[in-house]
Structure 1
Amino acid sequence: MEIIDSGRFEPAPDGSANFAEHLRVPTLSFGTYSIPAGAVDGQSPHNEDEIYVVTAGRGSFTSGGVTVEVGPGSALFVPAREEHRFHDITEDLVTLVFFAPAYTGVPVS
């Protein structure tokens, strides 16, 4: 068993959004994604299904042409290859991120 402190806000050293992977097995990977208030979520679609669980902060999320407001407790499913992003972040955002299969980092071509 591994205990992971995953609720902390940890932006990248330059103050931008930061993804940190905490666990990887072939069928699943898990990490945290921290996005500062006012920052841009510059991610591209990828080849894995994804689940976000917001643990702190507030903002909006758009996926598949649908936009929702998110805050602590919001859970979001994004199918592989679907365009998606957080935006209009009003409070530093922290999410738990689950990928299946494990995240490869290869963008959809």
Structure 2
Amino acid sequence: MRIIDGAGVWTPPPTGEANDWVEHLRVPALSVGTYCIPAGGVDNQSPHTEDEIYVVSTGRATIVTPDGRAEVGPGSVIFVPAGEEHRFVEVTEDLTLLVVFGPAYGSLAPQR
């Protein structure tokens, strides 16, 4: 067992950065991290090679995918399949997302 301290807790982005991403746990089958976007911020992520689950801890925003858009807030759980374009827009309150990747983030990306 392992308790993951700080997962899903708001952290302001470092000075000069748009967002804050911290990976808290990584094993071959999955990884867990926290992604924070400040109110009014821009989500600049690209599609991932792994399936992804977001759990909104705090804040409000709209998620946009090719299938449509939906407002999300505390308690929302969002599944994004590998390779799907997605972005959080209209971030009206500091957004904190607990993120679970399966398998671990970047593990299926082509090796350079």
TM-score under structure 2 length normalisation: 0.88
8 Å contact 2:8–2:33 — kept in the other structure?
no
How far 1:101 moved relative to its partner?
0.7
How far apart are residue 89 of structure 1 and its match?
0.2
**What secondary structure is seen at the aligned counterpart in 2 of 1:59?**
strand
Give the partner amino acid of 1:2. R
Aligned position for 2:11: 10
Runs of 4+ displaced beyond 6 Å = none
CA shift, 1:9, in A, is: 1.1
Match in the other structure for 1:63: 65
| % identity of equivalent residues | 57
* Count of residue pairs the alignment pairs up: 107
Q: Shift of residue 16 of structure 1? A: 2.1
Match of 1:99 in 2: 101
Aligned to 2:82: 80
Structure 2: stretches of 5+ with no match in the other structure: none
SS of residue paired to 1:68: strand
Structure 1: runs of 5 or more not aligned:
none
> Could you tell me the TM-score, scaled by structure 1's length?
0.91
Q: Give the Cα separation in 2 of the matches to 1:52 and 1:84.
A: 12
